[in-house]
Amino acid sequence: MRASITWAAACLVAVGRGLDLSVSATDGAAVSPFFYGMMFEEINYSGDGGLYAELIENRNIKQNTTSYGSIGGATIFINNENPLSPALAQSLQITIPRNATGRVGFFNKGFDGIGVLQQDYQASFYIKSVANATFRVDLRSIEDEVFGSAEVSLTASPNWQQLNATITPSSQAPNANNTFAVTFDGAEVAGQTMYFNLVSLFPPTFKDRPNGLRRDIAEAMNEMGAKFLRFPGGNNLEGNYGLDSRWKWNQTVGPLTDRAGRIGAWTYPNTDGLGLIEYLEWTIDMGLTPILGLFAGLTLDDVNVPEYQLQPYIDDAMNELEFLLGDSDTTYGAQRSALGYPEPFDIQHVEIGNEDNLNNGYQTYSTYRYRRFADAVLAKYPNMTIISSAPGFDIPEQSQGQGWADYHLYGRPDHLVSQHHQYDVLNRSVPVLAGEVAVVQGNLPDPSGWNRSLPRLEYPNMIGACAEATYMIGAERNADLVQGITYAPLLNRIGRTQWYPDLISFTSDPRDTTRSTSYLVNQLFAHNVGSTVAPMSGPQPGPIYYSATKTDSQYFVKLANYNGTDTSVRVTIPGGGNGTASFSTVSAPDGLSYNSPRKIVTQSRTTQVTGQNDVFTVDIANLMVGVLAANVSGSGGGGVVPTTLQTVATSTVRLPK
């Protein structure tokens, strides 16, 4: 909020290089209860091959024999004459030689390997065979060292059968160069042909959800402290190959045998195992407010649905909302109830489309597409918050008061810092969701935001994270306007990257899961935010940027030093007295430092600060981001310190110069 901070250039402290900041006891604007969030779409193999815990690549046999190989002389083919279901028409045909002996069968190498830990793995597959057989399923290295196995028997049948087994490895694999194998006694099934589909292997999942999330990645996301999830995109909502390639909600629900999957907007197969209900379960398990994206008649290859053809897509969006929100006696609410969810989900925010100002979509969006979708949603759900994906046009009167605009910003560090005051000057009548924000490139002598033809950062670095912090501080200070902010993209599978940098990176080995420098800054901010803005007075921001929020009992002062000198900051907090506060910081050896798998260089640190007559003094080094959290009673440090922070008890803070 523009009135929430007073610039006073004469406020430089006389003692050394320092400055005075003062926090007001007066309440400013209310801060959204879900100010810091997450945005997810299927990109970088972040769902299939990542967060979605399935470890088998090409489980639905949609990619020919990709990731499969034979064992013991068996031959493998794609068969189109033995569908498991209308959605899964191709199967994996295994033919055993007539003179087979020993173990024969097939393996799947997963998504660039399979990490093996000492935990239970749930294996399953559908099989069609007229021969009795005993199968062995195991996890093995590429040198055929077996870490764990189980056996399961099959009674011959002309119909498809599902077999299930639990594999409990006796030891942990040293790396992810491992496969999942299905074998049988060659002499027992010599000359036989068998058909397989939905070959599956799940490790323990987050919150033990069936068909759930990979635990190490989900735990990293959960620990960040985000409060909303925007899904399912992003570009993947729109599709990239005409209208039929869009994300279709009704093809992502129900049994896995009914989910055909699709080629996603980022050009790789999506199984849709992580479907609409799985997204909602994710929000429930992490306590996130869902922001649901609705397909709005625009694809990435510039297909704009004419207004006279738009109604079927509006109907589809309304059917999706009825599926989620309708009573169990409605058509689509009954479908949800039949899947085991009799009670409606809680959806209060929908976004109409994704970046509809791009791909030649602005004119149709601003003239009829937004209005038609918004009118339909509000007619049935009058309390729904409607979010425009094309900022910069006037929200129609029908949704004013309930219409938000989604702003996206990618750039270089200097560019994000230059946008610190962006929200100070915007029209206050339309609230803002900053739905995608990230530094993607190093500083270059180019005034534009960033140059797509030049290399980008492989991982978020410290100068970029500090620049992002200055932008988030500006957004938080304008909480009367900005309702939420999130980094994007969220996840990246190393080796299959399509967009970088990303907040969390991973491989098949859980030990490689990496919380980036930007992650640590987002985590710090998300865990330390109040319910109202606390107005501040101090010098014009830069190179020290700052904002404050408060609750009835705590103050949270955010600081970021972007390309300044190491500075002593004295913060006056009303009611702080001579009590203690916590000062949590994120820093790195230099601005180009970044976290990568098994090489964490960013330092997260929490120290205790003693106040003197309401004044708390902290030192903030160049390119450091920090939060001072103080109890107004002076009875102890404030804030919920993230579990990854190292706590160091001291009486005062004097960080290295």
CATH of the domain at 182: 2.60.120.260
Quick one: which of 506, 520, 639 has its CA closest to 588? Answer: 520
Same domain, 235 and 177: no
Tokens of 3: 């009135």
pLDDT, position 445: 76
Which strands form 536-538's sheet, in the order they lie side by side?
5-7, 536-538, 18-23, 567-572, 615-620
With vertex at residue 540, the alpha carbon angle to CA 536 and CA 546, rounded to the nearest 5 degrees, is 50
- 351 assigned to some structural domain: yes
**For 169-190, how does the pLDDT look when each residue is reduced to its tens digit (9 = 90+)?**
999 999 999 999 999 999 999 9
Q: How confident is the model at residue 470 (pLDDT cuts 50, 70, 90)?
A: very high
**For 382-393, how does the pLDDT look when each residue is reduced to its tens digit (9 = 90+)?**
999 999 998 876
Domain boundary among 353, 377, 400: 400
CATH of the domain at 40: 3.20.20.80
- What's CA 48's distance to the chain center, in Å? 13
Quick one: which of 269, 294, 262, 127 has its CA closest to 199? Answer: 127
Q: How confident is the model at residue 640 (pLDDT cuts 50, 70, 90)?
A: very low
Cα(245)–Cα(260) distance, rounded to whole angstroms?
12
- 506 assigned to some structural domain: no
Q: Is the peptide bond before 396 cis (omega within 30 degrees of 0)?
A: no
- 243 assigned to some structural domain: yes
Cα(441)–Cα(245) distance, rounded to whole angstroms?
31
The answer to whether residue 641 scores a pLDDT higher than 60 is: no
Same domain, 341 and 275: yes
Task: Kindly state the helix (H) or strand (E) to which residue 568 belongs, with its residue range.
Answer: strand 567-572
Which residues make beta-bridge pairs with 612? 615
Helices (H) and strands (E) in the chain, counts: 10, 35
The answer to whether residue 274 scores a pLDDT higher than 60 is: yes
Size of the chain in residues: 657
Residues 6 or more apart whose CB falls under 8 angstroms from that of 97 comprise: 73, 74, 75, 104, 186, 190, 191
Same domain, 225 and 365: yes
pLDDT, position 394: 67
Helix crossing, 215-223 with 276-286: angle to 10°?
Answer: 50
- 338 assigned to some structural domain: yes
Q: How confident is the model at residue 449 (pLDDT cuts 50, 70, 90)?
A: confident
- 546 assigned to some structural domain: yes
Which residues make beta-bridge pairs with 437? 409, 487
C-alpha pair distances (Å), 355 with each of 133, 370, 466, 563:
54, 12, 26, 32
Domain boundary among 363, 381, 400: 400
**Average pLDDT of the chain to the nearest whole number:** 92
Same domain, 18 and 76: no
With vertex at residue 327, the alpha carbon angle to CA 260 and CA 312, rounded to the nearest 5 degrees, is 50
C-alpha pair distances (Å), 513 with each of 51, 180, 217, 445, 642:
11, 21, 7, 34, 17
Helix crossing, 311-325 with 276-286: angle to 10°?
Answer: 40
φ, ψ for residue 476 (rounded to 5)?
-65, -35
Same domain, 181 and 251: no
**For 580-625, how does the pLDDT look when each residue is reduced to its tens digit (9 = 90+)?**
999 999 999 999 999 999 999 999 999 999 999 999 999 999 999 9
Same domain, 244 and 360: yes
pLDDT, position 649: 26
pLDDT, position 402: 73
Quick one: which of 495, 487, 548 has its CA closest to 517? Answer: 487
pLDDT, position 450: 86
Same domain, 369 and 289: yes
Cα(457)–Cα(54) distance, rounded to whole angstroms?
29
pLDDT, position 648: 27
- 221 assigned to some structural domain: yes
- What's CA 432's distance to the chain center, in Å? 20
pLDDT, position 532: 98
Domain count across the chain = 3
pLDDT, position 486: 98
**For 205-233, how does the pLDDT look when each residue is reduced to its tens digit (9 = 90+)?**
999 999 999 999 999 999 999 999 999 99
**For 98-116, how does the pLDDT look when each residue is reduced to its tens digit (9 = 90+)?**
999 999 999 999 999 999 9
Query: Three-state DSSP class for 455?
Result: coil
The answer to whether residue 296 scores a pLDDT higher than 50 is: yes
Domain boundary among 202, 223, 253: 202
Task: Kindly state the helix (H) or strand (E) to which residue 407 belongs, with its residue range.
Answer: strand 403-411
Same domain, 23 and 142: no
Categorise residue 502: left if φ over 0, alpha if ψ from -120 to 50, beta otherwise. beta
Q: What is the 3-state secondary structure (H, E, C) of 575-612?
A: CCCCCEEEEEEEECCCCCCECECCECCCEEEEEEEECE
Same domain, 77 and 163: yes
Tokens of 27: 């309440």
Q: pTM higher than 0.85 for the full model?
A: yes
With vertex at residue 114, the alpha carbon angle to CA 194 and CA 177, rounded to the nearest 5 degrees, is 105
Same domain, 212 and 96: no
Cα(208)–Cα(228) distance, rounded to whole angstroms?
21
DSSP label of 338? H
**For 329-372, how does the pLDDT look when each residue is reduced to its tens digit (9 = 90+)?**
999 999 999 999 999 999 999 999 999 999 999 999 999 999 99
Task: Kindly state the helix (H) or strand (E) to which residue 283 belongs, with its residue range.
Answer: helix 276-286
CATH of the domain at 627: 2.60.40.1180
Q: Is the peptide bond before 169 cis (omega within 30 degrees of 0)?
A: no
φ, ψ for residue 327 (rounded to 5)?
-65, 160
SS3 content of the chain, % helix, strand, coil (to 5): 20, 35, 45
pLDDT, position 42: 97
**What percent of the chain is predicted at pLDDT more than 90?**
88
Same domain, 592 and 603: yes
Q: Is the peptide bond before 306 cis (omega within 30 degrees of 0)?
A: no
> What's the mean pLDDT in 554-560?
98
The answer to whether residue 646 scores a pLDDT higher than 50 is: no
- 320 assigned to some structural domain: yes
Cα(634)–Cα(615) distance, rounded to whole angstroms?
11
In this structure, how many other beta carbons lie within 10 angstroms of the beta carbon of residue 454? 10
Domain that includes residue 234, residue range: 36-53+206-400
- 409 assigned to some structural domain: no
Location of structure tokens 């090409």: 58
Same domain, 129 and 240: no
**For 395-414, how does the pLDDT look when each residue is reduced to its tens digit (9 = 90+)?**
665 555 678 999 999 999 99
